[in-house]
Chain A
């Protein structure tokens, strides 16, 4: 079945460092891919998404490119801030009318 694998955390960085959180997926077709973020004390919210190969999703300085050849959707940010400290979830949905499948989440901690 479909699945999502994320790099294990926690990821600890200093402010202004470069961030990469790896995400790979398994699917039989052409899923839509998502990154959701959960800030401390808040509910999950959509960060960005991409719906077809080579699409790049971007928001709040974060980017992720849908790579079908490597079945990956890695999250990147050039310069992280303390306010980016959160748990990040990679997710996919392969077909309309099915549930979103999430990875286990990666905790990011940014210090000043």
Chain B
């Protein structure tokens, strides 16, 4: 596709359930990032992939959060035993490389609502 694609665009789940969020980066982009956007909190970094490895996962808020990337392409962010405070927009971004001045291309996000 032409841009970063995320699915689903909206997800409503019950507290305690597991959810999987998917990100399809731009073809050929080696770097992939997950961020969380909450009201009043701005953009919170979660995890960054270079290829299939994650050099920086320091932003994952708890061990309920995990992510993987396969084939240097699609990434899945999994949240286990969801809590109400997990409700947010989860954004994925990709970039061709990892230079300091590299531009990130963002997807439209997944709006997660935990009831």
Contacts and interface: CB of A to CB of B under 8 A. Distances in A.
Contacts of B4: 43
25 contacts: A31-B100, A32-B100, A43-B4, A44-B91, A45-B106, A46-B104, A49-B103, A51-B101, A89-B43, A94-B100, A96-B98, A96-B99, A96-B100, A98-B48, A98-B56, A98-B98, A99-B33, A99-B45, A99-B59, A100-B45, A100-B104, A102-B35, A102-B42, A102-B45, A104-B41
A42 B105 CA distance: 12
Interface in B1-19: 3-4
Interface of A: 31-32, 36, 42-46, 49, 51, 89, 91, 93-105
B71 interface: no
B70 to A, nearest CB: 20
Nearest to A102: B43
B108 interface: yes
Contacts, number: 61
Nearest to A95: B100
Contact of B33 (A31, A42, A96, A100): A100
Interface string B63-91: 00000000000000000000000000001
B48 A99 contact: yes
A97 B109 contact: no
A45 B104 CA distance: 8
B25 interface: no
A42 B108 contact: yes
Contacts of B109: 43
Contacts of B93: 44
Nearest to B43: A102
A33 to B, nearest CB: 9
B42 A104 contact: yes
A101 B101 contact: no
Contacts of B55: 97
Contacts of A46: 103-104
